[in-house]
Amino acid sequence: MLLSRSILAACLTVALAAPAHARTPEQVAQAALRAAPVWDGHNDVPIQLRGRFGNVIDHFEFRDTSKTGGDANEDTWQGRTMHTDLVRLRKGKVGAQFWSVYVVASLKEPQAVQATLEQIDVTRRLIAKYPGDMALALTSRDVERAMREGRIASLMGIEGGHQIGSSLGVLRQMHALGVRYMTLTHYRNVGWADSSNEAPKNDGLSDFGRKVVREMNRLGMLVDLSHTSEATQMDTLDEAKAPVIFSHSGARGVVDHPRNVSDAVLARLPKNGGIVMVIGYPGHLSRERQLWGAAFDAESARAKALQPGDPTAAKVLVDAWIRANPEPLATVAQMADHIDHIRKVAGIDHIGIGGDYDGMETGPVGMEDVSGYPLLFTELARRGYSQADLEKIASRNMMRVMRAAERQAASLKGEAPLEAPLPALVD
């Protein structure tokens, strides 16, 4: 019996539409990361170089840092193994990296400016030391070019407004040296913006803080809202004409931590065009780990009070408490939960990745270092994220954001730099 032409055509359409074989989550993740390698929003290798080596890196081997750890019980730079090296970045499918040129927020502003310049210098020297593997990137085109060449596009971000010394002139010079984002605050307020970790002084941004945001938009420097208070975030979204980023944050709707982003802020991201680059820090991903951390801090304070002037005896008490109360471990699934929540509230176009490696003790189980990103993308594929979704999260969303910031800067090319009066210099 002959089939009609319409039935044959329908059968052929179904056959062509059906895949030869269903792809596994691992295969979907692998395909996504081949097409769009991870663009990570935050890595603290530069401050590791300062803490471990005083920024003397002639003999530092960045291809493999797996032997950098010493005594695991020693709470120092040397006591921990670094999370990042070229081998593990390749394994983690990282194609672009924002290197944080962070310095501690407790520094006086003039000292912070100098230290930031030193961190920019060591970062640029590290990139130049491995020209076959890394490429300094100043524009979205630079990132595209580096990825095509198989090199890791390397960008720089300042982690705290204290690092510009309350000066628009310093901000402009940091941009001229290659800095492409600034986190408005770190763990302390600055004179013009409030942090997520201190009582508010400005109720968000001051008038000067709003001017900082406008000047960053004019320059094409991305405004990073990780570490800032919700009021600072809301004021910035009112002021910004370019997409903002959260370079390393989670979702407060999953874990109610002040470092995570509230649903009220997430709901405003689509209009702004910005993204949350989801962090790997266990205390922000896991409620159990967050509560354990608070209990640990309390026990440490209690031990110090019970053994004043005897840190060894206090440590014995804390170690005994840890043995009785083992630290909960964060999981890849919990990191995926934050991504799920951001997708639900803000949408798939507003998610990125910002691990915070080498700025924490460890990432989640299986993602302890930068090599673990494929596990996260496999977990997301298992949850039904398409290859196109995964490509957006990996780097396409961040690429869109950077291009938008560049377009905004281009549209303001004719505008004069913003000015603010400086204090008089005294001997």
Please name which of 352, 356, 354 lies closest in space to residue 400, comparing C-alpha atoms: 352
Among 40, 44, 194, 215, the one annotated catalytic = 44
Residue 227 bears catalytic tag: yes
225: left (phi over 0), alpha (psi -120 to 50) or beta: alpha
Active site residue 284: no
Question: Active-site residue 44, yes or no?
Answer: yes
**For this structure, is 83 an active site residue?**
no
Catalytic residue among 85, 224, 239, 356: 356
CA contacts within 13 A on the Cβ side of 368: 8
Residue among 186, 257, 284, 350 flagged as catalytic: 186
* pLDDT at position 130 over 50: yes
Tell whether the model's pLDDT for residue 16 goes beyond 70: no
User: Quick one: what percent of the chain has pLDDT higher than 90?
Assistant: 91
pLDDT tens, position by position, 358-404: 999 999 999 999 999 999 999 999 999 999 999 999 999 999 999 99
Q: CB-side exposure of 68: number of CA atoms within 13 Å?
A: 24
What is the per-residue pLDDT for 9? 52
98: amino acid identity, one letter: F
The per-residue pLDDT for 71 is: 59
Catalytic, out of 162, 175, 248, 257 = 248
Cα Rg of the chain (Å, integer) = 23
Model confidence band, residue 77 (pLDDT cutoffs 50, 70, 90): low
Q: Which residue in 42, 257, 284, 350 is the catalytic one? A: 42
Active site residue 162: no
Mean pLDDT of all residues in 83-106: 98
Does residue 8 register a pLDDT over 80? no
The band of 286, judged by pLDDT with boundaries at 50, 70 and 90, is very high
Instruction: Choose the weakest-confidence range: 15-29, 131-145, 267-281, 302-316.
Output: 15-29
Identified catalytic residue from 159, 235, 337, 349: 159
Ramachandran class of 64: left when φ > 0, alpha when ψ lies in -120 to 50, beta otherwise = beta
The whole-number average pLDDT for the span 249-270 is 98
Q: What is the pLDDT of residue 21?
A: 66
Secondary structure of residue 341 in the 3-state scheme: helix
pTM, entire model: 0.93
pLDDT in tens, 312-371: 999 999 999 999 999 999 999 999 999 999 999 999 999 999 999 999 999 999 999 999
Q: For residue 158, what is the DSSP state?
A: E
From 83, 227, 341, 350, active-site residue: 227
pLDDT beyond 70 at 122: yes
Looking at residue 76, what is its pLDDT? 62
Q: Which residues make beta-bridge pairs with 205? A: 193
Residue type, 274: G
